[in-house]
Amino acid sequence: MEDQKFHVKVVGILFDPKKRMLLVGKNFGDEKYSFLEGDLEYDEELDKTLKKITKEKTGYKVHNLGAVYAENMLRNKEKLKIHFLCEATEGKEKPGKNVQELVWIKPSKVEEKLGISLPTRLKEYLIGLE
């Protein structure tokens, strides 16, 4: 049997509990917005990678509130995406690494802004934040 490897994507869903809004970004060269994500390297810890990616892309230090959804994409793209809800604890908003623009949106508008259909459980969870 051939050795198979897969990639893990760490996805930060930045939530402002006072305003009940989510932060999404648009990378340079992309037409659509997305959640803030990056690759988990073999020797990295999930929490540290999540915080590093979020800081690099938004300017915010975050508190990881926990994993809220895992998306199995191993069949078609050989990756597992783990979505974490995060709250900004300090810092100043600034588009960073490969990010052209950041925008806060209502959870009920996330599919419209991202231009995709989210998995039902993730969509219901996010709408519940509103």
pLDDT tens column, 71-110: 876 666 668 889 999 999 999 999 988 899 999 999 999 9
Tally of CB atoms within 10 A around 16: 13
Pairing of strands 7-16, 36-40: antiparallel
Residue 25 has pLDDT above 50, yes or no: yes
Domain residue limits, the chain: 7-127
Q: What is the pLDDT of residues 115-127, one digit of tens each?
A: 999 999 999 999 9
From the list 110, 106, 99, 107, the residue with the least C-alpha distance to 30 is: 99
Report the run of H or E that residue 65 belongs to, with start and end. strand 60-73
DSSP 19: T
The reply to whether CATH 3.40.605.10 applies to domain 7-127 is: no
Dihedral of alpha carbons 39, 44, 48, 52, sign: negative
Instruction: Name the pTM for this structure.
Output: 0.87
- pLDDT at position 75 is 65
